[in-house]
Amino acid sequence: MSTVCGDPLGHVVVFGFGAQGRAQALNLHDSGVRVSVALREGSPRREEVLASRLPCLDLEDGARAADLAAVLVPDEAHAALYSEILAPGLRRGTALVFAHGYSVHYGRIRPRPDLDVVLVAPMGIGPQVRARFLAGSGVPALVAVAQDGSGEAMRHARRYAEALGSGRRAILETTFAEETETDLFAEQAVICGGLTHLIAAGFETLVEAGYRPEIAYFCCLEELKLIADLVYERGLEGMRRSISTTALYGDYTRGPRVIGEGVRAAMRAVLGEIRSGRFDQELAREAAAGWPTLQAARDRAACHPLEEVGRRLRGEDS
């Protein structure tokens, strides 16, 4: 058996080889874990797996071979993968590992009672998980147990997180519910939905007032990386100690006018939809319909003047 910090993980089979699957499989391998990747027949990812010198198995063979099955396909594919491949194929006592609690928390998957069902959620996208591991660090990870068939489920989760490199930063215990609900809220209200729409609104406000689109782009989007890096390295107050007095005064006096009670009320409403299951039901209807709302929104965003200016400034239109 392979070992991490002296503890056996056995044969880890990673289902999926997208950004997160690739990063986790390679980190596990580099940590001395016996790891294979399982993909559907005809998957275009097979060549990438073989180029990475990892064994590549069919889905059915991967389920039968796994001591620990890491489910790293997209959330919307979890239910079919579990019902068609994992439920009939996994041996008794196998551990199921998820990188996001969504499918288990909302009941999209109801695992067999003999299985360990654990969460190991790296707090970073796949390329960050890999890059920071290679740099000798790691991203923090959240770990949780939904089902403890062996009595060792939390130990499995912690060993897996350590093999990803998260032990070099932080491993925090949580629950499937807490991870799922906070992750969805942060994505929707702050780091994705909130941030992207704030950037677009700032850009539009400047352009509508007669300022050049290129200047608006640099001010509202490109300079954001400097601030984000400072926040990551030093926290909010550390960032504030690094900016000018003028910027700091504007932050404290004008920021609350932009992100005021109306925004907070909207955030509470968004969180309520997540906690009640309303967002999950809406997402399921959208997926069943073929993602029409998502595609329409992506099409509109791709044609936004902000994107047109960005492509031109980055030289992508030449």
From the number of C-beta atoms within 10 Å of its C-beta (0-12, 13-18, 19+), residue 180 rates as: buried
- Rounded to 10 degrees, what is the CA torsion of 14, 86, 148, 114? -140
Within 10 angstroms of residue 295's Cβ, the number of other Cβ atoms is 11
Helices (H), the chain: 19-30, 46-51, 59-65, 78-81, 87-89, 102-105, 126-134, 153-164, 176-185, 193-208, 213-217, 224-240, 245-258, 261-276, 278-288, 292-302, 305-313
Query: Three-state DSSP class for 176?
Result: helix
CA angle 291, 187, 49 (to 5 degrees): 70
Catalytic amino acids?
A: 100
Cα 27 to Cα 164: distance, rounded to the nearest angstrom: 5
Q: Which two tokens stand for residue 66?
A: 């796994």
Contacts (Cβ under 8 Å, ≥6 apart) of 201: none
The one-letter amino acid code at 106 reads: Y
Cα 24 to Cα 296: distance, rounded to the nearest angstrom: 33
Cα 121 to Cα 181: distance, rounded to the nearest angstrom: 13
DSSP 111: -
Please report how the helices 261-276 and 278-288 are oriented relative to each other, as an axis angle in degrees rounded to 10: 70
